[in-house]
Amino acid sequence: MVKILHDSDADISALNGKTIAIIGYGNQGSAQALCLRDSGINVIIGETETLNGNPNRSWEKAVSDGFKTMSISEAAKSADIIHILLPDEFHGPVYKKEIRKYMKPGKVLSCSHGFNIIFKGIVPPADVDVIMVAPKSPATEERKAFLAGFGVPGLFAVRQNPSGKAKEIALGMAKAMGFTRAGVLECTFEQETYEDLFGEQTVLCGGLVELMKTGFEVLTEAGYPPEMAYFECVHEMKLIVDLIYEGGIQKMNAIISNTAEWGEYEIGPKIINAATKVRMKKALKDVETGKFARKWLKESKNGAPNLHAKRKALGEHPVEVVGKQIREMFEHK
């Protein structure tokens, strides 16, 4: 079993006298910056005032949340720990333009996802510490759990450690964000990056969305009302996942009917079968060899036309159209 670290294994004083620059005040940036500040850490924000020619709402939010907010290069210059929380596809270009020249000996380069270190969007100099501190959670849940006096679980990794203090710093950050209250695992950059990409592609986001959409399509194409299909294939998903989260698959099975449990054993493996597993293994290979990353970075470099087209198409899919109507119906009731 891997060792899970808790509050008593970490010390926030590793961050004494240090300034952390959060680069990118988006989903993770805002949640992590607020938690760090609540734990007494000196935090500054590196952001851009405008983005694609428009005022940047993240900049405005950082200012209104009371943070010292400045350009990315200014923040990288002033801080000891530079924690990059930009969208992954922009780490490389922004690092080269605004951060690289300030990565002097003694500094710490940090992130919440190893993508750019592994796929070489960022190649840090050998004389800086390189760490990762990552929540295993969406940002909203992370902040909510922290404010409730607890935290979400997290991962940390040390890639370069010329100071000899990289691990203490990573653990100090994890503690200051509440992760060690829930439990933190040490891993490598490779493990976090490959596992994270594989999980989101095949199970959590890609797998789940296609499963729900396909189920919805089969029912509606057979003439069943879309509202019913939405309840069946999307809405109830949360109720089922909540039970598994609380007590595992067997707890869920004990609460659903025997008929549902029998259907799970009898039909489930015919839907997600050995051929699915072969395709999942291929997806893992494409992650590990960098094939997936190369394609995504190329898409992003070209302005992400396919991403935008797919986003638009999903918005027009009946599961989203009906879902929106149904959720509105239930709001404030």
Q: Which does 103 bind (CB under 5 to 8 A by kind): Mg ion, ligand NAI, none?
A: none
Interacting residue with ligand NAI among 19, 42, 56, 188 (CB under 6 A): 56
29 binds ligand NAI per the rule CB under 6 A: yes
Q: Phi and psi at residue 251, in whole multiples of 5°?
A: -65, -45
Window 87 to 126, contacts with ligand NAI (CB under 6 A): 87-88, 90, 94, 111-113
Which part of the chain contacts Mg ion (CB under 5 A), choosing from 82-90, 138-146, 190-198, 320-328? Answer: 190-198
| CA angle, residues 127, 131, 136, in degrees to nearest 5 | 170
Task: Determine how many CB atoms are found less than 10 A away from the CB of residue 90.
Answer: 14
Residue whose entry in the numeric block shows the structure tokens 């489930």: 268
135 binds ligand NAI per the rule CB under 6 A: yes
Residues contacting ligand NAI: total by CB under 6 A: 24
Interacting residue with ligand NAI among 5, 36, 47, 122 (CB under 6 A): 47
113 labelled catalytic: yes
Active-site option among 113, 235, 317, 332: 113
Residue whose entry in the numeric block shows the structure tokens 């069946």: 232
Nearest to 136 by CA among 185, 76, 173: 185
CB 22 within 8 A of CB 47: no
Interacting residue with Mg ion among 35, 139, 196, 233 (CB under 5 A): 196
DSSP secondary structure letters along 22-81: EE--SHHHHHHHHHHHHTT-EEEEE--SEETTEE-HHHHHHHHTT-EEE-HHHHHHH-SE
Q: Which does 154 bind (CB under 5 to 8 A by kind): ligand NAI, Mg ion, none?
A: none
C-alpha–C-alpha distance, residues 77 and 102, integer Å? 5
Query: Which residues belong to the active site?
Result: 113
Binding site for Mg ion (CB under 5 A): 196, 200
Binding site for ligand NAI (CB under 6 A): 24-29, 47-48, 51, 56, 58, 85-88, 90, 94, 111-113, 134-135, 138-139
